[in-house]
Amino acid sequence: MKKHNTFIVAAAVTAAVIAAFWLLLAAPGYSGNEINMTRGVTTMSAINYQLHMIVLWICVVIGVIVFSAMFFSIVLHRKSRNHEAAQFTHSTKAEIIWTVIPILILVVIAVPATKALVKMEVAPETEMTVKITGFQWRWKYHYVEDDIQFISSLDSISNAARRLSSGIDPRSVDNYLLEVDHPLVLPADTKIKFLITADDVIHSWWVPALGWKRDAVPGFINEAWTEIMEPGTYRGQCAELCGKDHGFMPIVLKVLPKAQYRKWVQGQKNRMDDERSEVERLWSREELMELGEDVYAAQCAACHQADGMGLAPAFPALAGSAVTNGPVSAHIDVVLHGREGTAMQAWGSMLSAADIAAALTYTRNSFGNKSGDVVQPQTISRIKNGKIHRK
């Protein structure tokens, strides 16, 4: 008899250990571990959270009923208890019941699920538009009405800590891998339309607090909308595998009250005006090298590496390369227009003329490259505007 009960004891102990284990570790108050979907800060995220909870509990109830019947049977209808096997093979009544009831449950789930999808897909009138462009491995944000644009990349502290065997403990970094240099700043209580696309491969823009993600597909513009009810900072990540640094492409939203947001917009406009006048003056070699070093670290080093040695075979070295030491016009061409079929971006539309000029100057005079060339922002600006013909 003792042996016969081993199974029940083993099953019960297993279940108890696993349950206790989860209760202990899963209790958010106890361990700080989040285990459930966020309620978020938008109408859509709240709707999705509710739908998630409804269907989760329906699943739990179904699971409990099915497993109870099964374990009841396992405990009672055993050979070791000398239970005689019945020989019935079917029951039309039972089979109809357990086909019809699940269909009814599905209908019950389908009603809120349909409403939620309609709400998501049918956008209301929006008050502003942000165009989001994903590219390897950063996001570009363009505020369509205010004509502000900038690139948002992983911040430098996380970027240093995330290197293989960096020696930096990720726990010592605030918001490790979820911090960017330039967050997307948005106003609260405003209906915002997003136009989401990509420049190279498919990415996916996901901030859980907004309640959805949308793929950024090259050649397509996806629409999504939101209205964020609480000011604050919300974090997310790229959710579609997009190459080696897919895991290092965070999104940070900084949501400000409307008045503060207007101030921020004015600041950005001033910055962009400054940049425009900066392009027209002649820069010194030292200025360009200094800015170039920063731009290189933020934009280029992910592939070409901090020492310019690249990562064979996909990412070529810049140290001693024919491009960085050859004619400057060819180098400018590659940087502005990218190289098709490789991860090299067309940076012309991504970075300012000053940034590009500085990066060019820096790469042509670093890593042992000694071209001595100085590329002026106005040269880049004129090429971009078609005032100088390439080649």
The sheet with strand 212-216 has its strands ordered as 184-187, 250-256, 232-238, 203-207, 212-216
Stretch that binds other proteins, among 40-48, 274-282, 325-333, 361-369 (CB under 8 A): 40-48
Yes or no: say if 256 and 235 are a contact pair by the CB < 8 Å rule: no
Indicate whether 113 belongs to the interface with other proteins (CB under 8 A): yes
For the bound state, the minimum distance from the C-beta of residue 24 to other proteins, rounded and expressed in Å, comes to: 11
Yes or no: say if 181 and 153 are a contact pair by the CB < 8 Å rule: yes
The two structure tokens encoding residue 115: 């409403």
The two structure tokens encoding residue 56: 């989760």
Among 215, 275, 287, 293, binds other proteins (CB under 8 A): 215
Task: Name, in order, each residue with C-beta under 8 angstroms of 244's C-beta and a sequence gap of 6 or more.
Answer: none
Yes or no: say if 189 and 219 are a contact pair by the CB < 8 Å rule: no
Q: Which of 272/309 has CB closer to other proteins?
A: 309
Q: Which of 7/266 has CB closer to other proteins?
A: 7
Indicate whether 206 belongs to the interface with other proteins (CB under 8 A): yes
For the bound state, the minimum distance from the C-beta of residue 271 to other proteins, rounded and expressed in Å, comes to: 30
Indicate whether 56 belongs to the interface with other proteins (CB under 8 A): yes
Among 67, 144, 156, 290, binds other proteins (CB under 8 A): 67
Among 7, 147, 156, 257, binds other proteins (CB under 8 A): 7
Please return the burial class of 172, using the count of CB atoms within 10 Å of its CB with bins 0-12, 13-18 and 19+.
exposed
Among 1, 2, 89, 277, binds other proteins (CB under 8 A): 89
Distance in angstroms between the alpha carbons of the first and the last residue of the chain: 91
For the bound state, the minimum distance from the C-beta of residue 130 to other proteins, rounded and expressed in Å, comes to: 17
219-278: which residues touch other proteins (CB under 8 A)? 219-220, 222-223, 236-248
Stretch that binds other proteins, among 41-49, 182-190, 277-285, 374-382 (CB under 8 A): 41-49
Indicate whether 104 belongs to the interface with other proteins (CB under 8 A): no
- Determine the Cα–Cα distance for residues 215 and 134; give it in Å rounded to an integer: 9
For the bound state, the minimum distance from the C-beta of residue 84 to other proteins, rounded and expressed in Å, comes to: 6
159-188: which residues touch other proteins (CB under 8 A)? 161-166, 168-171, 173, 175-178
Q: Which of 239, 265, 266 is nearest to 250 (CA)?
A: 239
Indicate whether 10 belongs to the interface with other proteins (CB under 8 A): yes
Q: Which of 10/330 has CB closer to other proteins?
A: 10
Yes or no: say if 106 and 114 are a contact pair by the CB < 8 Å rule: no
The two structure tokens encoding residue 203: 């990415």
- Determine the Cα–Cα distance for residues 272 and 150; give it in Å rounded to an integer: 10
Q: How many C-beta atoms lie closer than 10 Å to residue 273's C-beta?
A: 10
279-318: which residues touch other proteins (CB under 8 A)? 311-314
Indicate whether 64 belongs to the interface with other proteins (CB under 8 A): no
Among 9, 102, 257, 388, binds other proteins (CB under 8 A): 102
Among 5, 37, 43, 289, binds other proteins (CB under 8 A): 37
Query: Is 292 strand, coil or helix?
Result: helix
Query: Site size for other proteins, by CB under 8 A?
Result: 117
Helix crossing, 92-121 with 43-76: angle to 10°?
160
**Over the Cα atoms of the chain, what is R_g?**
29
Q: Which of 218/348 has CB closer to other proteins?
A: 218
